Amino acid sequence: MKTAALLFTLFALPQLMAAEAPTLTLIAEVKGFASPESVAWDGTHYYVSNVGKELKPMDKDGDGSISRMDAKGENLELKFIDKLNAPKGMLVAGKTLYVCDIDVLLGFDLASGEKTFEISFAKDGVQFLNDVCAAGAGKLLVSATDKNKVYVVDTEKKSATEIAFDKAPNGPNGLAFFKQDDDHCLLLVEWGRDNQPNGNLRGYLLDDTLLKGTLQESPEDFPVKNGYLDGLATIYDAKGEPQCALYSDWVAFKPEGKVYWIGEGGSGKTTQVALKIPMGPPGGPADFFFEPKGSVLVLPCMLEGRVLLLKAEWPK
């Protein structure tokens, strides 16, 4: 399938739970974080990256850390890993927790918290590594927001190669990768450029090497939302087929943030819906995690030092 509609088939939903937007109810509100940016999950614990007491995402000040808590948001260990700089996007792969920290991608052993992996992007002048996602065996994708780049990381070779896009993203932030038939698909949300809320939701078709990306756009099938876009997650059915997506938008640098569901609604057309957050609009809804087994959205509110655990329930 090599048409412009490739990625939009993501939202050609069967009549399952994702056919309509979910409602959210509060499970827990966890406070005490220091500019929480990203959430990862290992099946037992949630991990939360903290940029630091002051929101300085590009400063090498040693003030960053990673917290750990259980599935209920309890037994919080605020500094499971500390002495980082400004950790942001995270991913659990196997027994390793991967973390973006300014200009390096780090890996830590989940059991001990000891560093086991490191690759630097400093030679490219990168100062804002932002998100990381899995892209097949031994491969990761990493976004560099300040350089409008996405890299393919080979964890065995400890190498990083820039994806050559036909149209580069503007401040790539949250990433989601999936395979559909024999195609490699990359969804991403953009923070935008020139400090303006002009980021979009974008889709790219990658070649078999993952090193060449072709932008897929169709305004009729793929509605675009301009904003300060941050977190992104795709939601799958029991067969592993992508059904819909969630993404977050800061809107402004105050408690006006939103989380959007995007999928095929009752009209049969791709649409997006702003979800109602039970405790009101969040300040800085960053790189959230969606835990599919329990349908739990774990949302870091970066400007407020808190993390919300929210139950997502779809209409029956």
Nearest-angstrom CA–CA distance, 124 and 21: 41
- Encoded tokens for 131: 């998100």
299 lies in some domain: yes
3 lies in some domain: no
List average pLDDT for each run of 10 residues in the chain, which is 316 residues long. 41 46 96 98 98 94 98 97 98 97 98 96 98 96 98 97 96 94 92 92 94 81 78 86 90 96 74 93 98 96 98 90
4 lies in some domain: no
* Domain containing residue 256: CATH number: 2.120.10.30
The whole-number pLDDT of residue 219 equals 55
The whole-number pLDDT of residue 162 equals 98
The whole-number pLDDT of residue 230 equals 98
172 lies in some domain: yes
Into how many domains does the chain fold?
1
Domain boundaries, position 184: 13-313
7 lies in some domain: no
Beta strand 87-93 with 36-41 is: unpaired
5 lies in some domain: no
> Within its chain, how far is the Cα of 236 from the centroid?
15
**Pick from 262, 298, 308: which is nearest to 92 by CA?**
298
1 lies in some domain: no
The whole-number pLDDT of residue 267 equals 62
76 lies in some domain: yes
The whole-number pLDDT of residue 269 equals 72
The residues, ordered by sequence, that sit 6+ positions from 67 with a Cβ below 8 Å of its Cβ are: 33, 36, 47, 48, 50, 76, 77, 78, 79, 80
